Structure 1
């Protein structure tokens, strides 16, 4: 689920004005929808030249973005596209040169709910956020940030990701996580906790966007967080896992992730190591971690099609990755 975020989120923010889709002037709504749909169509059709012409200056010639546009186009090549959400974000009151965080609290009409955008270092100006859903074999969403420059809307941020994993959307995984937690009580459900995280990933439009709905999901997940995770060693270590030989594994991240074809679901685990050293020993260490994890938390055993283990060295070098399937991961599938 690739994402390119050009601003990061924070919780200390200065509020700015937001206009939801239902309150936009008809001309503004139609223009934004046309710009968003045209950009998404260019991506789908592989017409990167047309998309490049709509980019904000700071994104032109960005190799990472060009790669992301190309990969997204391949995923949605046969899909139909529809604009589903639009927001106008007025940041004209932002102080020039400020590094503060800007927040847009977009209250939805007729319901007690809101969508909240929290952005660091936003330049003064008029912005819009659009979501384009791609309907096909695999549900997909393209969220984009638009910025008005010289009377034209330019693409200032591009955030595509899957809407489903192993054939189910975020709401399904949310419900399934809740049911697994209830079934496991009074014991902790590690699988439920991980699946809550997957549900949020599928439902969240972009890293700097949240909603009343997602806040409820996060609240549920926090309530069922396993006790081991509350006693992490430090801010960058999720928990310390002990293996069969009493070896310690400082796990920093654990998530459920869908495969690129959308058909399988893997458990992704990152942990800290010293220098990688001998590749064979590094591979054995990764496999040993998976065995230790399955020994310690039985509800994870058999829930995934495999486990991707990433040993992260301290020097910032690329992690040593191992795909573990079969008996080591006891890979089966979640309930359909």
Structure 2
């Protein structure tokens, strides 16, 4: 139901005690051998993904991560179906030298930080990777073109110190469009919405823009930072402190029933002409299916009654209801079904 989640081969939590920044080399500053080697390895891995070659990908994975390959098969199969027949084009490669990384006092690995200046300008791309083992790494972004919708296959690569070859350490596939539009389109639309004082629509479109423009969660950039600043400036007052379990968005229905939303987002899983709003609802008990379905429908109705501008910018509303110790209950209704 929800968008395909990023497949991580690397394990690790965001750890305290960040290390000093390691060395990043952009493709324009690399030696031809490094640049060509990374690009060739990325193309080979992309071809394996397109072919659904799970065993081939596992064989090409660094030994430290090959044993954590469970679950990758479904991700590869789903991605292969979306990218089959397309032309893989290596768009960008980075060389990340983490050979000097040291363990923390407790034996854990720190967050590896790589700050990459672009073309000697103030623009920057930063990699903040938790739990990274010492070594020489590369990051490659491969865009698959010529398919029904464009996709990006990003790979974290680790160089085998004894053989010199680049091996897979992380795989991050994602669509580059949502409802037929790319991230820059959503960014432009969000700016226009903000000018029209459509704060809820703008905030959510900025969210969609960021999702499409950020290759993977551990990458930051000066451009993405600007987007986040614009989103914060455009946020409606009710979201000025964020939305989370300890700071829910409380919406009342016409009969006084309170709905506590602990998360808002966007979704394109239905492939409709517009993206959907997703709203996470917190309750104590789900109840039976009839009760849960009615509550979700009532919650969607209350949300749109409180913020009617959402009706024109989105296809519909997903309500995902969560209760401790129970499986989430999710429903989707198109805008014309919510009265």
TM-score, normalised with respect to structure 2: 0.90
Q: CA deviation at 1:11?
A: 9.6
**Equivalent position of 2:260 in the other structure:** 250
1:75 pairs with 2:82? yes
Larger mean CA deviation between 257-266 and 101-110 belongs to 257-266
Q: CA deviation at 1:154?
A: 1.3
**Equivalent position of 2:149 in the other structure:** 138
**Equivalent position of 1:333 in the other structure:** none
Contact residue 16 and residue 110 of structure 2 kept, 8 A = no
In the alignment, which of 176, 191, 213 is matched to residue 189 of structure 2?
Answer: 176
Contact residue 95 and residue 137 of structure 2 kept, 8 A = yes
Contact residue 229 and residue 238 of structure 1 kept, 8 A = no
Contact residue 59 and residue 65 of structure 1 kept, 8 A = no
* Secondary structure class of the residue paired with 1:63: coil
Alpha carbons of structure 1 residues 222 and 231: separation in structure 2 relative to 1, 3 Å = closer
Write out aligned runs for 1:72-111 (5 A): 72-96=79-103, 97-111=107-121
Q: What is the distance in 2 between the residues matched to 1:148 and 1:233? A: 41
1:13 pairs with 2:18? yes
1:293 pairs with 2:303? yes
Larger mean CA deviation between 128-137 and 142-151 belongs to 142-151
Which whole-Å deviations, capped at 9, do the CAs of 1:173-222 have from their partners, x for residues lacking one? 000000011012xxx51011000000000000001001110000000001
Number of equivalenced pairs: 326
Contact residue 97 and residue 135 of structure 2 kept, 8 A = yes
**Equivalent position of 1:334 in the other structure:** none
Alpha carbons of structure 1 residues 152 and 236: separation in structure 2 relative to 1, 3 Å = farther
Write out aligned runs for 1:1-336 (5 A): 1-2=3-4, 3-5=6-8, 6=10, 7=12, 13-14=18-19, 15-57=21-63, 58-60=65-67, 62-96=69-103, 97-135=107-145, 136-149=147-160, 150=162, 151-184=164-197, 189-231=199-241, 236-259=246-269, 261=271, 264-315=274-325, 317-329=326-338
Unaligned stretches of 5+ residues in structure 2: none
Alpha carbons of structure 1 residues 166 and 318: separation in structure 2 relative to 1, 3 Å = same
Larger mean CA deviation between 296-305 and 230-239 belongs to 230-239
Q: What is the distance in 1 between the residues matched to 2:166 and 2:156? A: 10
Alpha carbons of structure 1 residues 233 and 42: separation in structure 2 relative to 1, 3 Å = closer
Which whole-Å deviations, capped at 9, do the CAs of 1:78-116 have from their partners, x for residues lacking one? 211100010111111111333322210011114320110
Alpha carbons of structure 1 residues 233 and 259: separation in structure 2 relative to 1, 3 Å = closer
Alpha carbons of structure 1 residues 155 and 322: separation in structure 2 relative to 1, 3 Å = same
Q: CA deviation at 1:231?
A: 4.8
Alpha carbons of structure 1 residues 168 and 121: separation in structure 2 relative to 1, 3 Å = same
Alpha carbons of structure 1 residues 295 and 270: separation in structure 2 relative to 1, 3 Å = same
Q: What is the distance in 2 between the residues matched to 1:261 and 1:213? A: 28
Q: What is the distance in 2 between the residues matched to 1:294 and 1:11? A: 41
Q: What is the distance in 1 between the residues matched to 2:13 and 2:207? A: 19
Q: What is the distance in 2 between the residues matched to 1:12 and 1:257? A: 35
